[in-house]
Each structure stands twice: as structure tokens, then as C-alpha cells.
Amino acid sequence: MNFTVSPTNNIHKHIAGYIRIERLKMGYSQEYLSLQLGISQNAYSRIERGVTKLDIERLLEIIILLKMDVDALLSSVFHEYSIDRLVP
């Protein structure tokens, strides 16, 4: 069975906000992360604001750099976007 997320749900923006919080916890600047990722600071800022949707490769790079807990990230997404909000 295929499910799609309702257009009003912005999972990528939720993940972007989670990334920002984790970056701040680590004490890293956007400039530092952008240098580590090989992108401009403006490009990194667009990631954290949810303007740029992350592909899985970039998301994994950020998860590794920030030593993020993947289970916590996914749990926060599933909590925020429960199955009740998914439509067949």
C-alpha cells in the first residue's frame, strides 16, 4: 500500500529544524558546516530553513558531521507526522 504525505505537512522543514537544533547543540556555525559539506554558507542556510530539500546522501553527511541520533530524528518525524496525517 502506498501512502503520500499531505502537501500541508512539511516533513523536510521539520528535519531542517531538527538539524539546526543539533548544530547549535554541537556549537558549530553554519559557516563551519558549509565548509565541511563543500557548499556555500547560503546553501547551508537554505537547508536549515527547509528551502532546500535534502537528498539521502546529503542528509547522511549532516547526520555524521553532527553525530546525530538517527533514531531520535526519525522518532521526532513519526511523532510529528503520525499515521493519522497520511492519506492513501
Average pLDDT across the chain, whole number: 86
How are beta strands 86-87 and 4-5 bridged, if at all? antiparallel
Q: Look up the pTM and report it.
A: 0.80
CATH class of 8-81: mainly alpha
The tally of CA atoms less than 13 A away on the side-chain side of residue 35 is 5
pLDDT tens column, 40-85: 999 999 999 999 989 999 999 999 999 999 999 988 888 877 755 5
Statement: residue 7 has pLDDT above 80: no
Catalogue the E-assigned strands of the chain: 4-5, 86-87
- The three-class DSSP label of residue 64 is helix
